[in-house]
Amino acid sequence: MTAGGSTPKLVIRVVVLALGAALLEIVAVSQISVFGVNADLTPLVVMSIGLLTGSVSGAAAGFGMGLFLDLALVQTLGLQSLIYTVIGYAAGRIRELRDPQGAIVPLAAGAVATAIATIGYSIVQFLLGVDAPVSFLLVRDILTTIVFNTVLAVPVFAVARRWLTPALPDDPARRRRRAYTTGGLSPLSRA
């Protein structure tokens, strides 16, 4: 699944994380309203899985999590899975192409993932046909949710990293960088 290949341990950990987050979201987090909106952990978790494990496992986790939400909430099947597949894949590609290490990365990726989830959901709903008038407050709520989720992106990413890191295969590029930044391969240390 990842650049270094997936292990059964990693697959199990991804599944447990995705299912746990989806359950936590629908039974608790979605019922806690702050400034009129509730946080949505699910796109953040999919983004985190993508950023940590790569595009293929990110897309697969996104598809599975979306399908679980569609089934458990009796929504239009395929709607959330389509959107979350895109989020997981995009987050994974960021890791594969740039492998960014800055603290701001989960923050920015969380904002973009939430924007894709909320705006994408609304666009697909419109494409499927909405008879009722739509309130302008929907736009305000989308923006508030994006801000709210952006704040939560860092702790969610930290929890996901803590949970998935023991099962992640060792990436040679990362190992080189880690060694360099900690002095292992530094020219100064060799001198």
Partner 1 sequence: MYDKTVRRRRAVLVLLVVCSLILLTAYFGESPGSPLHSVQRGFLGVVSPVQDGASRALKPVRDLFGWFGDTLDAKKQRDELQKELQSARKEAIANAAAARDNVALQKLVKLDTQIGTDQMNPVTARVITRSPTLWYSTVSINKGTSSGVKVDQPVINGDGLVGTITAASGNSSIVTLITDHTSGVSALVNESGVAGVVQPAVGNPNDLLLQYIRRGDQIAVGQNVVTAGSKSARYESLFPPGIPVGRVTKVDNQELDVYQRVHVKPFAQLRKLDIVQVLTAPQGAATP
Q: Rule CB under 8 A: which residues touch partner 1?
A: 3, 23-34, 36-38, 40, 42, 55-56, 59-60, 62-63, 66-67, 69-79, 81-82, 85-86, 89, 118, 121-122, 124-125, 128, 130-139, 141-142, 145
Rounded Cα–Cα distance for residues 125 and 158 (Å): 32
Q: Smallest gap, in angstroms, from Cβ of residue 51 to partner 1?
A: 16
Cα distances from 55 to residues 10, 95, 151, in angstroms, run 14, 8, 24
Nearer to partner 1, 97 or 103 (CB): 97
Q: Smallest gap, in angstroms, from Cβ of residue 42 to partner 1?
A: 7
Nearer to partner 1, 124 or 185 (CB): 124
Q: CB-hemisphere CA count at 13 Å for 89? A: 11
Nearer to partner 1, 18 or 37 (CB): 37
Nearer to partner 1, 23 or 179 (CB): 23
Q: Which residues contact 147 (CB under 8 A, 6 or more apart)?
A: none
Rounded to 5 degrees, what are φ and ψ at 37?
-130, 165
Q: How many CB atoms lie within 10 A of CB 136?
A: 7
